[in-house]
Structure 1
Amino acid sequence: RNRRSVWEIATQPYAKAHFATFPEKLVEPCILAGTSEWGCCPECGAPWERVVDVDYVQPHTRPGNPAIDRSRYEGRHEEGVGYRPEHVLSRQNRTTGWRPTCAHDGEPVPCTILDPFSGAGTVGLVADRLGRNAILIDQSQEYCEMAQKRVQADGGMFAETFP
């Protein structure tokens, strides 16, 4: 199901001296929606797009919400004007591959997120966990150091941070 205009996300405490940290669960869907999981072109930054195989199948039954028995409709009116299988079946997407969205031939590199008001570095932290790069900017040297330590501590020896 698609997210709606109001998201209910619990706050998340942060022990360091920053007064307005975002919860990680708020940042995660934004990064996932705005970047390609496979990466982007190293030359122009165009994201790679997912190639999906779409299937329409009988909906799964759940306790308290059984699937409607559609067997009596099988084969009837499936070629008629206005027939739309998504009205009676569940759509299932299966990733079959990835393709570039530009004409360059380079191998994909991780997408990069820019956070010009990074504060405690939550965007960098979540980006690192999701395999993306991040450029964090803040006018406070204290917050920049705090964010760098936070990302390094979470990512361990694999997290690369630069002052």
Structure 2
Amino acid sequence: MLTNHCYQGDCRAVMRDLIAAGVRVQCIVTSPPYWGLRDYGHPAQLGQEPTLREFLANMVEVFDLCRELLAGDGTLWLNMGDSYAGSRGAPWGPSPSATEARAMTASRRRDDAPIPRSDVRVEGLKPKDLVGQPWRLAFALQDAGYYLRQDIVWHKPNPMPESVRDRCTKAHEYLFLLTKNEKYFYDFAAMQEPVSGGAHARGSGVNPKAVVPAGWDTSAGGHRALTGRYAGTGVGFGRGYDKVAKPRAKQNVSFSSAVAGLVDMRNRRSVWAIPTQSYSGAHFATFPEALVEPCVLAGSRPGDIVFDPFMGSGTVASVAQRLGRRWLGAELNSDYIALQAERTRQPGLVLEASA
């Protein structure tokens, strides 16, 4: 099977061919074109549909094929930004004036130029309404059979400035974790992050900084409410106790032993502060490598295949290759293929996961 390769063409046709050939991928990381954001100059492009409803229907078709391409324990990591409804007719309508362009919302991920996102009329919405593209797509995929496991907020410390005066400057996008099945591969250890200051591993003891209510027995082996407002309530001290507040076997915890449970790593939180990242090979801001890396690490093993149906300049391929994964992609625009080849020119060290 050919890997470390991007197929040029409509991603739906590419995925149908891969599925027919028996290919399965472990992890998909992607950011599809946002509706009404940018004209990529191809008649078959997605994102320029006349209505949001048609765009979402096309996205569901794309990700239905992604789900079929995924291994049974595979994951999909999907980045999607939002837009605002306006009064102009269609995404490909007449170019706005310079004054109008200054008020429009642009995306630092794809292009630094003013983009007509916030002036497109959306059926059922009023001008200036937030469209809610990310959540509409996430719920559509949930209805289509995906498990919607997590919404991750990509916080951009360096967002594109906006001239609006009646709301905050947009400084975040969403990254959704979706899965094919209830049980799936997820490398928990790969998603650990350093802790600043003292923290406590949940389930291993009691936070030593906690204030102990009056009436609690805090001696080793005690751990039940004895007096005060907790007396007779059946409420026990800490986790792992039954309704009558009797400690389960071998669950004795004291404040002195809790101190030993201090940790310097914790499970990654769901807000990721990652600056946007420009790429010198093209006049647009690419999918940041720091946003892709944790998705690849958590969603795949060394030697697994990572796929991006909207490969663009090849960020997902570059990260996957650097991390010892194989990769596949699809891209409609031939101009991007050369960029991908340059970014993946240096072969990565591909390791096979141990049994």
Q: Normalising by structure 1, report the TM-score.
A: 0.48
Compare CA radii of gyration and give the structure with the larger one. Answer: 2
**TM-score, normalized by length of structure 2?**
0.23
